[in-house]
Chains A and B, each alone.
Chain A
């Protein structure tokens, strides 16, 4: 059966706490932390971007997949922060990993859904027997405008999945489903540095409508009830939304917590739900069923149901787990360092 043969996550070393950002803008940190259910977020180092994050996550995925990179037929990188406006991220990722040159490469964009979009395309290629393996990455180093609510959540990180059908899948993909409508809840026009959003309109008509419709239909198509799902992951723009949608669907905190990575990491946009899935695979047992629902503004959701296989126990330790990366080697930045790293201020050069 077609499924995931390798997965890898990358979490940058640098972090900034909610308190540090709130201090700059005269906000009450306790009220921000309570409102967003978030303590701190990851920040890319000055030499990190979507490409470097994608390379590291994919390297870990290859370590777990134990396959020849040359057998990978496609490389799809989903992000809303591709370093170039014109020149693909995927070509760098493919060359850095020794994939190709006989490979199909494309960059995907769909706000926070670009990563699951890449997964969907990669899965479909393998399912239609176009290629033995396909690599899908969701990674971002997104920006939130200074003194905007997004500044507390816009984080950096990414996750890669290698799809295959070699009889050694870590988790089989049982169901896929997508739900899309034209909804202008969040966007960034060409040449603009920061995105715009519609505040509360990003909730009910955007996130909740698409995520709920996708979760319900994905479960219906899989003929699976919420109580038969071991773990569920919903896109995490903040801490609150995924918990609320989980509760509305009838999931318990035990089902949601392993993939609820946002309180310690922030929203990694295209990497968000994918990183939640990777963190869940880190602790899942053979036989567990997992529901993942992404969300991208604009707007759409992709739903996946996966069934975990015995091989998870063989490959889990072949690369760092999410927990190891999120808790080890943290370097906290003050706001000045953060503003310099993220090029939010004009330096004298």
Chain B
């Protein structure tokens, strides 16, 4: 990920910052500048809830180069408690521990490194609530 883009996305990747439409209350994550209806451009910034449930998941055995050392690892779609879905890794557990519906908590982790010379990218992942 090029570092200028990474830096610009810090509010959403580090702090789960989203926006809520002032008109219909719809939450947009990542934040948008205009409502999907095209009729509203007034939003209130909000921070998403840090707990949710696993909607679905898959286990990656053949990974892109920068994730090879982590195989097998889990990528899931998590519905946070404010009904916003995020895609992220589910970590600190084995694949057979994950089930649809299990409760998870958002944690701050290293997402990837741009090789040995580039920046280290951080962001959100989830762990099971035990």
Say which one of A22-30, A50-58, A73-81, A147-155 lies at the interface with B: A50-58
B81-107 CB contact bits vs A (8 Å, 1 = yes)? 000000001011110000000000001
The answer to whether A52 touches B108, judged by C-beta atoms less than 8 angstroms apart, is: yes
The answer to whether B92 touches A331, judged by C-beta atoms less than 8 angstroms apart, is: yes
The answer to whether B14 touches A95, judged by C-beta atoms less than 8 angstroms apart, is: yes
Which chain A residues in 44-66 approach chain B with CB under 8 Å?
A: 45-49, 51-52, 55-56, 59
Q: Report which of B15, B69, B94, B109 forms a contact with A48, defined as CB distance below 8 A.
A: B109
Residues on the B chain within 8 Å of A59, using CB: 108
Which chain B residues in 50-67 approach chain A with CB under 8 Å?
A: 65
The answer to whether B70 touches A52, judged by C-beta atoms less than 8 angstroms apart, is: no
Instruction: Tell me, in angstroms, the Cα distance from A47 to B66 when the chains sit together.
Output: 12
The answer to whether A340 touches B109, judged by C-beta atoms less than 8 angstroms apart, is: no
Residues on the A chain within 8 Å of B65, using CB: 349
Q: Is B120 an interface residue (CB 8 A)?
A: yes
Q: Is A329 an interface residue (CB 8 A)?
A: yes
Instruction: Tell me, in angstroms, the Cα distance from A52 to B15 when the chains sit together.
Output: 13
Smallest Cβ-Cβ distance to A49: which chain B residue = B110
The answer to whether A48 touches B110, judged by C-beta atoms less than 8 angstroms apart, is: yes
Q: Is A92 an interface residue (CB 8 A)?
A: yes
A47 in contact with B69 given A55-B108, A96-B14 (CB within 8 Å): no
The answer to whether A83 touches B14, judged by C-beta atoms less than 8 angstroms apart, is: no
The answer to whether B111 touches A95, judged by C-beta atoms less than 8 angstroms apart, is: no
The answer to whether A329 touches B68, judged by C-beta atoms less than 8 angstroms apart, is: no
Residues on the A chain within 8 Å of B111, using CB: 47
How many residues does chain A have at the interface if contact means C-beta atoms less than 8 Å apart? 26
The answer to whether A47 touches B125, judged by C-beta atoms less than 8 angstroms apart, is: yes
Q: Is A328 an interface residue (CB 8 A)?
A: yes
A46 in contact with B68 given A96-B14, A96-B15, A329-B92 (CB within 8 Å): no
Residues on the B chain within 8 Å of A340, using CB: 69
Q: Is A124 an interface residue (CB 8 A)?
A: no
Which chain B residues in 32-74 approach chain A with CB under 8 Å?
A: 65, 68-70
Give, as a whole number of angstroms, the nearest-CB distance from A107 to chain B: 14
The answer to whether B68 touches A96, judged by C-beta atoms less than 8 angstroms apart, is: no
Q: Is B1 an interface residue (CB 8 A)?
A: no
The answer to whether B108 touches A96, judged by C-beta atoms less than 8 angstroms apart, is: yes
The answer to whether A51 touches B122, judged by C-beta atoms less than 8 angstroms apart, is: yes
A45 in contact with B130 given A55-B108, A84-B120 (CB within 8 Å): no
The answer to whether B109 touches A347, judged by C-beta atoms less than 8 angstroms apart, is: no
Give, as a whole number of angstroms, the nearest-CB distance from B17 to chain A: 9
Residues on the B chain within 8 Å of A180, using CB: none
The answer to whether A349 touches B109, judged by C-beta atoms less than 8 angstroms apart, is: no
The answer to whether A98 touches B110, judged by C-beta atoms less than 8 angstroms apart, is: no
Q: Is A202 an interface residue (CB 8 A)?
A: no
Give, as a whole number of angstroms, the nearest-CB distance from B105 to chain A: 11
Smallest Cβ-Cβ distance to B119: which chain A residue = A87
A52 in contact with B92 given A47-B70, A95-B14, A96-B15 (CB within 8 Å): no
Q: Report which of A45, A46, A52, A349 forms a contact with B122, defined as CB distance below 8 A.
A: A52
Instruction: Tell me, in angstroms, the Cα distance from A92 to B109 when the chains sit together.
Output: 11
The answer to whether B69 touches A46, judged by C-beta atoms less than 8 angstroms apart, is: yes
The answer to whether A329 touches B110, judged by C-beta atoms less than 8 angstroms apart, is: no
Which chain A residues in 98-119 approach chain B with CB under 8 Å?
A: 98
Q: Is A13 an interface residue (CB 8 A)?
A: yes
Instruction: Tell me, in angstroms, the Cα distance from A331 to B130 when the chains sit together.
Output: 13
Residues on the A chain within 8 Å of B14, using CB: 92, 95-96
Residues on the A chain within 8 Å of B94, using CB: 331
Give, as a whole number of angstroms, the nearest-CB distance from B106 to chain A: 10
Residues on the B chain within 8 Å of A83, using CB: 120
Pull 5 A–B residue pairs with CB atoms less than 8 Å apart, ordered by A: A14-B92, A46-B69, A52-B122, A96-B15, A347-B68
17 new A-B pairs (CB below 8 Å) besides A45-B109, A83-B120, A340-B69? Answer: A13-B92, A46-B70, A47-B70, A47-B91, A47-B109, A47-B110, A51-B120, A52-B109, A52-B110, A55-B108, A87-B119, A92-B122, A329-B92, A331-B94, A347-B68, A349-B65, A349-B68
Give the 8 A-B residue pairs with the shortest CB-CB distance, closest first.
A47-B109, A13-B92, A47-B110, A55-B108, A96-B14, A46-B70, A52-B109, A96-B108
